[in-house]
C-alpha cells in the first residue's frame, strides 16, 4: 500500500508543518528519489563520471600552474581564481568524507550544484575576459585580488569548520525528515552563527569576484547569494523548528544567522482564542 509506505509518523511539535509539494507529498519522500537515482546511475556510469571529474581536475591543476607563472601579468589573477575554485570543490569532497562519509558521492564535489551556479561561474569568466581585453591594467590591481583571497580563505575556514563540527548532522540537501541520530549542534562555529556553512559560502563566492576584480559580478554575486541563502535559511529553519521545537526556538533567540539582514524563519505563537 503506497499510502502506508509514504506516511510519516506524527510530528512531536506544534511548530510549522511542511507544506505538501503541489499536492503530492509522496514526491518529497527520499526513498522515491533514491530508487530513481539507483535505476539511472549504474556502476559503469559512476566509473565514467569518476574519470570525467579526474580529467577535469587534472586540467584545472595545469591551469593553476600555467596561468600565474607563464602567462601575461593580467592573466595572473585568473590563475589565482582557478586555484581557489579548485581547492573549494576538492575540500568540499574531502571534508564530507571525513565528517559524514555515509553521504559521500560524486555530488559531494558540488560541481553540479545547480544550473544557476554554472551560469554564475560563466558570467564571471565572461566579465573577466571582456574587461581584460578592454582594460587590461584593471586586472593588475593586486591589492583587490589579495583582499579577495583573504575573504575566500575566511569563508573556507568558516564553512569547513561548520561541516566538521556538525559531522553526520551536516547535509548538502535540506532534510525534511528527522533522522534518529540527528541532533541540534550549537557548539563550535554554531556558537557564533546559526548557519556557519552558509556564511562561509556567501563570503567565499563574493571573494572569488574580488580575486578576478569583477566589479559587476561582485554586486551580482552578493545580491544573488543573499537572495538564495535568505530563501534557503527560511525553509531550513521551518524544518529545524519542526524537528527540535522549543530547543531550536531558544537557539534562534540567542544566536543570529550570521548573514547580513537575514533573520530566518520567524515563528509567531498565536494563543488560542
Residues 6+ apart with CB under 8 A from 154: 200, 203, 207
pLDDT of residue 273: 55
Fold annotation for 30-105+132-254: 1.20.120
In this predicted structure, what is the pLDDT of residue 62?
53
pLDDT tens readout for residues 230-272: 999 999 999 999 999 999 999 999 999 999 999 999 887 656 5
**Helix H segments across the chain?**
2-6, 30-40, 43-70, 76-99, 115-134, 142-166, 196-211, 215-244, 246-254
Query: Which stretches of the chain score pLDDT less than 70?
Result: 1-71, 269-273
**What pLDDT is attached to residue 41?**
44
Q: What are 29's three cell numbers? A: 519522500
Q: Is the dihedral of CA 127, 119, 84, 144 positive or negative?
A: positive
Q: What is the pLDDT of residue 14?
A: 56
Burial class from Cβ neighbours inside 10 Å (0-12, 13-18, 19+) for residue 224 reads middle
Do 243 and 182 form a contact (C-beta atoms < 8 A)? yes
**What is the tens place of the pLDDT at every residue in 57-76?**
555 555 555 555 556 777 89
Q: Which of 110, 85, 123, 101 is nearest to 223 (CA)?
A: 123
Name which of 236, 254, 99 is nearest 161 in CA terms.
99
Residues, the chain: 273
Cα(98)–Cα(248) distance, integer angstroms = 26
Amino acid at each position: 500500500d503506497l499510502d502506508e509506505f509514504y506516511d510519516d509518523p506524527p510530528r512531536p511539535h506544534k511548530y510549522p508543518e511542511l507544506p505538501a509539494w503541489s499536492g503530492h507529498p509522496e514526491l518529497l519522500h527520499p526513498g522515491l528519489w533514491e530508487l530513481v537515482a539507483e535505476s539511472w546511475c549504474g556502476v559503469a556510469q559512476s566509473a565514467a563520471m569518476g574519470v570525467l571529474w579526474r580529467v577535469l581536475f587534472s586540467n584545472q591543476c595545469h591551469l593553476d600552474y600555467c596561468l600565474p607563472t607563464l602567462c601575461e601579468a593580467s592573466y595572473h589573477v585568473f590563475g589565482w581564481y582557478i586555484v581557489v575554485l579548485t581547492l573549494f570543490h576538492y575540500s568540499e569532497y574531502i571534508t564530507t568524507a571525513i565528517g559524514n562519509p555515509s553521504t559521500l558521492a560524486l555530488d559531494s564535489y558540488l560541481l553540479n550544484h545547480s544550473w544557476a551556479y554554472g551560469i554564475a561561474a560563466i558570467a564571471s569568466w565572461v566579465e573577466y575576459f571582456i574587461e581584460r581585453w578592454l582594460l587590461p591594467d584593471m586586472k593588475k590591481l593586486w591589492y583587490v585580488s589579495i583582499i579577495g583571497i583573504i575573504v575566500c580563505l575566511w569563508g573556507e575556514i568558516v564553512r569547513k569548520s561548520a561541516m566538521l563540527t556538525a559531522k553526520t548532522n551536516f547535509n548538502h540537501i535540506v532534510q525534511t525528515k528527522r533522522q534518529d541520530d540527528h541532533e541540534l549542534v550549537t557548539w563550535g562555529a554554531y556558537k557564533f552563527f546559526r548557519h556557519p556553512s552558509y556564511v562561509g559560502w556567501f563570503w567565499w563566492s563574493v571573494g572569488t569576484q574580488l580575486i578576478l576584480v569583477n566589479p559587476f559580478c561582485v554586486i551580482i554575486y552578493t545580491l544573488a547569494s543573499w537572495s538564495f541563502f535568505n530563501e534557503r535559511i527560511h525553509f531550513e529553519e521551518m524544518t529545524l523548528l519542526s524537528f527540535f521545537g522549543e530547543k531550536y526556538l531558544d537557539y534562534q533567540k540567542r544566536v543570529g544567522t550570521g548573514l547580513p539582514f537575514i533573520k530566518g524563519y520567524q515563528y509567531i505563537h498565536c494563543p488560542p482564542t
